[in-house]
Structure 1
């Protein structure tokens, strides 16, 4: 919880600033010592999303390798959600439409109700949203793995809660992840302003990588 508070506080500052050319790298970081040309140097090791294995709406196994060399947006939801999920998916659809067909950009939505949200249910859900193909993946898997990656890796709330509407509680955040699997931004997925900041920051990230190649 302390980690989440720190990240969200930093996120708030960066969101208000928005003046730096490069996006920040969020999450905890460590320093390691290594030898370079016979000299000891200190390098920074950033928090990265570890490997995972889930199943998408097509029934295919999805791992972190599916997102190699991609910028992607992650979020958490469930198909029967009576509160913020419909709004979030309406906003994420705008991201999908903006980058549709762009191989460099992907979306990864994790259900937090795997008992109900089977691959068949997720496929129908995607179809109802007007989503085709697998640029936007809806994934399911063991609930403990989904909750763990949400709270410990993407730094958002995701879990069962009998007191919450629908029986589950989750963050309304869209999480931006870069090609090195580092978290580069968190955005309010329930409003237009947050969605437009996300779209702009995806473009900024794409420019970062383009500039590095030049």
Structure 2
């Protein structure tokens, strides 16, 4: 996906996230009107963008997939363990959400490493431990460059291997809120405490949709 398109989507997502109200959240991304027959009548239905199927190795060297997040709300992001710039702040802020909802089976967290060379499962395991993650509610995963980077596009997150930037990888620091149907419902700058606070509020709103 073209960089400018991804950045444009990020701007749209951030704006939509800020516009969320106290009763419902928007569904972010492309949508398509599809006609289908119901009880002999032609009706128009709206098909929304969804996060596609995926499968990655986690910090315990166990293969996990999108099925692990069925019937759950989850927050996803993209990082790498030796990131010298935005990742430490982003992950500490995501830890706020993890600690708030710890042991709440309705919500999970998923961090995808974009460093497909270094961030092997044992590295992710040590990273998670040092961060303070001590249960399976927050998964850290690794995979091939093609698989991780193409999935980042589906979350509207910019990722790029770039030897000219610190750490060798360029990426945006968005925390992406996903619902039971794998629809993106919001994205929040993980380095901005105000937006992370909004994420916490929006998680509560989304949880109420499934009560």
TM-score band, normalised by shorter chain: over 0.9
Task: Say what the alpha-carbon RMSD is for the aligned residues.
Answer: 1.4
Q: 1:158 to 1:14 in 2, by over 3 A?
A: same
Partner of 1:101: 103
What secondary structure, in the 3-state scheme, does the structure 1 residue paired with 2:78 have? strand
How far the C-alpha of 1:137 sits from its partner, in A, is 0.4
Q: Deviations along 1:131-176, whole A, 9 cap, x unmatched?
A: 012100000011111011002x101111201111110011110000
Count of aligned positions: 209
**CA apart distance, 1:30:** 1.2
Work out the CA distance in 2 between the residues paired with 1:3 and 1:35: 35
How far 1:12 moved relative to its partner?
3.9
* CA deviation after TM superposition for structure 1 residue 6, in Å: 4.6
Once residues 116 and 11 of structure 1 are traced to their aligned partners in structure 2, the CA distance between those partners, rounded to angstroms, is 30
8 Å CA contact 1:33–1:41 kept in 2: the answer is yes
Deviation of 1:17 (Å): 3.1
Query: Deviations 1:59-80 (Å, cap 9, x if unpaired)?
Result: 1001000000000000000001
For 1:12 and 1:133, locate their aligned partners in 2 and report how far apart those are by CA, in whole Å. Answer: 30
Question: What's the counterpart of residue 137 of structure 1?
Answer: 139
**Which residue of structure 1 lines up, in the alignment, with residue 27 of structure 2?**
25
Q: 2:157 — aligned with what?
A: 156
- Residue 209 of structure 1 and its aligned partner are, at CA, apart by 1.3
Runs of at least 5 residues in structure 2 that lack an aligned partner in the other structure? none
Aligned to 1:59: 61
Counterpart-to-counterpart distance in 1, 2:41 and 2:175 = 41
Partner deviation per Cα, 1:8-40 (whole Å, 9 max, x = no partner):
343343344333621000011111110111110
TM-aligned CA distance change 1:12 to 1:121, over 3 Å = closer
Q: Classify the secondary structure of the residue corresponding to 2:76.
A: strand
What is the match of residue 199 of structure 2? 198
Runs of 4 or more consecutive aligned structure 1 residues displaced over 4 Å after TM superposition: none
Report 1:1-214 matches (<5 A). 1=2, 3-19=5-21, 21-151=23-153, 153-210=154-211
Alpha-carbon shift at residue 5 of structure 1 (Å):
4.5
Does the 8 Å contact 1:27/1:183 carry over to 2?
A: yes
Mapped to 2, the partners of 1:125 and 1:7 lie a distance apart of 30
SS at match of 2:210: helix
Find the aligned partners of 2:19 and 2:118 in 1 and give their Cα distance.
Answer: 41
In the superposition, the TM-score normalised over structure 1's length comes to: 0.93
